Amino acid sequence: AREVDEKVQQIQSLANAADAIDSCRRCPLYEQATQAVFGEGPKEAQIMFVGEQPGDQEDLQGRPFVGPAGQVFDEAIKNAGIDRRRLYVTNAVKHFKFIPRGKRRIHQKPNAGEIQACRFWLNLEREFVKPRIVVALGATAAQSLVGKAVSISSMRGKPIDLEDGSVLYITNHPSYLLRIPDPETKAREREKFEADLALIHAHI
Ligand code: URA
């Protein structure tokens, strides 16, 4: 534990934080996960997107939003005219939480304690990147950034001033779109998601 503390005390940059995170023991999620998944993107990024936590693919590859939700995300930002290479993309919780079921690993929502424990890392990312705009993808990210549970439907499209001077936009998580069975509802929700992203793009 002392080695871990020393690494954390020596964090002076985004690269130091990325290096220290794999030794994080702030909550028990590290026990099951393959690795911690830190955020990714230029440290000068003006926009930071915050998801929930790594999924199965992200846990294996060590990069955020590279699995099915990442594909939805990539497509939606492209349609909104946003270039992913200019974004800093991260998650509220850095370890994958799941229950094993046969060969599959079933995603579990992180709880309030896990979200709170991992705010340490998200706060470091915000301090080092200093984005002008922060986008919460879904309820977990919104909870981490606002400090309490918020409803997406009532908050989307209403920017919130955060204490560090950045502006927070709240929208749905791309996985939400993947879970909608009805094609018409799915198409409508996809349009709403892309409209939220286009609004954000207009504010860059
Ligand atoms: N879902 C998330 O919230 N984040 C990822 O990185 C992947 C899926």
**pLDDT for 62-111, tens place per residue?**
999 999 999 999 999 999 999 999 999 999 999 999 999 999 999 999 99
Q: Report the chain's mean pLDDT, rounded to a whole number.
A: 96
Ligand 1 pocket list (CB less than 6 A): 51-55, 58, 64-65, 67, 69-70, 91, 175
pTM exceeding the 0.90 threshold for the entire prediction: yes
113-172, pLDDT tens digit by residue? 999 999 999 999 999 999 999 999 999 999 999 999 999 999 998 999 999 999 999 999
Asked whether 51 and 173 are in contact (CB, 8 A), the reply is yes
CA of 121 to the centre of ligand 1 (A): 16
- CATH code, domain carrying 78: 3.40.470.10
For residue 169, what is the enclosing H or E element?
strand 167-171
CA distances in angstroms from 92 to 33, 49, 137, 143, 203, listed in the order given: 15, 10, 10, 9, 23
- What local confidence, expressed as pLDDT, does residue 7 receive? 78
Q: How far is the CA of 2 from the centre of ligand 1 (A)?
A: 31
Distance 203 CA to ligand 1 centre (A): 24
| Helix, coil or strand: residue 128 | helix
What's the pLDDT band for 203 if we cut at 50, 70, 90? confident
Residue 47 to residue 2: CA distance in whole angstroms: 35
Closest to 121 (Cα-Cα) out of 16, 2, 1, 201: 16
Q: How far is the CA of 150 from the centre of ligand 1 (A)?
A: 19
pLDDT of residue 8: 83
For a pocket test of ligand 1, which of 34, 49, 53 has the largest count of ligand atoms closer than 8 A to its C-beta? 53
**pLDDT over 70 for what percent of the chain?**
98
Beta carbons within 8 Å of 148's beta carbon, 6+ residues apart: none
Q: How many residues does the chain have?
A: 204
**What is the share, in percent, of the chain residues with pLDDT greater than 90?**
93
Spacing, Cα 74 to ligand 1 middle (Å): 12
Q: What are the tokens at 199? A: 């609004």
Kindly state the helix (H) or strand (E) to which residue 142 belongs, with its residue range: helix 139-146
What total of structural domains would you count in the chain?
1
Out of 52, 114, 193, mutate this one to test ligand 1's pocket (max ligand atoms within 8 Å of CB): namely 52
Residue 158 belongs to domain spanning? 2-202
Helix (H) or strand (E) holding 160: strand 160-161
> Ligand 1 atom closest to Cα of 140?
3
